[in-house]
Structure 1
Amino acid sequence: MRLLSLFLLACTTLASAGEPATAPDKPGFDAALAQRTGADDYGMRRYVLVILRTGPTPVMDPEARKAMFAGHMANIQRLSKSGQLALAGPFDDTGGDWRGLFVFAVDDIDQARALVATDPVIASGEMVAEYHRWYGSAATLLVAGLHETLARKAL
């Protein structure tokens, strides 16, 4: 009987020798938050980064321009509240053609294109978009909620 037990122990040890041991969760790991943000084991996730650049048809009429940018801001707020837009903001390069960026928490570029198409600055031709896959911290999704607690005034 003892010989059989030793044999079974040896077989079990050999069978599991090629399998990596499961490491315990890192201290401070929040499984619920990781799941909510779509984090992988490294706390990262896939996004689509969109660079907004100056387009071919700038809107010159002051009233139309004001309305277009009001719609642009409303669209940003809508997409952020839906959880699809993780990050957005303008570039501070005066004179360059890079205008701003979006970081979308979507799986592919086609989904990001559909969301960007809803923006008045794109529809008018004021801006055009470049799309890039990006792998970044899943915590990026938490920025919009944190921003709300920091903003003294509404955009």
Structure 2
Amino acid sequence: MKYLYTLAILCCLGFTANAQTTNSNYNKALADSLGADNYGMKQYVLVILKTGSNTTTDKEKLNQYFRGHMENIGRLAKEGKLVVAGPLGKNDKSYRGIFILDAKTIEEAQKLVETDPAVKAKIFDVELYPWYGSAALPVYLDTHSKISKENP
């Protein structure tokens, strides 16, 4: 499965399946610091946040859960464990948002997700899946902090 994802990415970048070449821009120190494999990829865990079973309408409680949710996102990002987070548009599956966690296993990711007050309160349920993507994902966060004019 991992091979198919890598092949798809390499094909999108203009590489063919039959021709492996050495990247003249390769930076071993950077690759090692990001945990990259030979293809510049690594294992993450994709988390899908779904509407949970807690249907409280208490605005004060909801504000408390969402404030805690946002604070937890910030904490996990600062710790380097959360590399992507964001809400999803309305859909028929009750999917609310995604995380991509820098975690090697579902079990490790589950422990990280359980630190979220909105997950603990069942405002969100979660689905977790192994995901193979670019090891460079974590470095975009520094750039984002320089282009976001306001923080939520």
So what's the TM-score if we normalise by structure 2?
A: 0.82
User: What residue is the counterpart of 1:53 in the other structure?
Assistant: 50
Residue type at the aligned position of 2:151: A
Gaps of 5+ in 2: 1-19
Residue type at the aligned position of 2:65: M
**Is 1:106 the counterpart of 2:103 in the alignment?**
yes
Distance 1:80 1:133 in 2: 19
- Among candidates 113, 123, 144, match of residue 126 of structure 1: 123
Any idea what the Cα deviations from partners look like across 1:57-102, whole Å, max 9, x if unmatched? 1231111111110110000000001001111111012565000011
The 4+ residue runs of structure 1 with deviation greater than 3 A are none
**Deviation larger for 43-52 or 30-39:** 30-39
Give 1:36 shift.
1.4
- Aligned-pair identity in percent equals 38
Distance 1:127 1:87 in 2: 17
**Deviation larger for 42-51 or 24-33:** 24-33
Residue type at the aligned position of 2:36: A
Distance 1:28 1:93 in 2: 41
User: What residue is the counterpart of 1:141 in the other structure?
Assistant: 138
- Among candidates 37, 41, 44, match of residue 40 of structure 1: 37
Distance 1:131 1:105 in 2: 12
Residue type at the aligned position of 1:118: T
Secondary structure of 1:83's counterpart equals coil
**Is 1:150 the counterpart of 2:147 in the alignment?**
yes
Report which of the two structures shows the higher radius of gyration computed on alpha carbons. Answer: 1
Count of residue pairs the alignment pairs up: 133
Give 1:127 shift.
0.7
So what's the TM-score if we normalise by structure 1?
A: 0.81
The answer to whether the Cα contact below 8 Å between 1:87 and 1:143 also exists between their aligned partners in 2 is no
Residue type at the aligned position of 1:145: D
Residue type at the aligned position of 2:69: H
Secondary structure of 2:99's counterpart equals strand
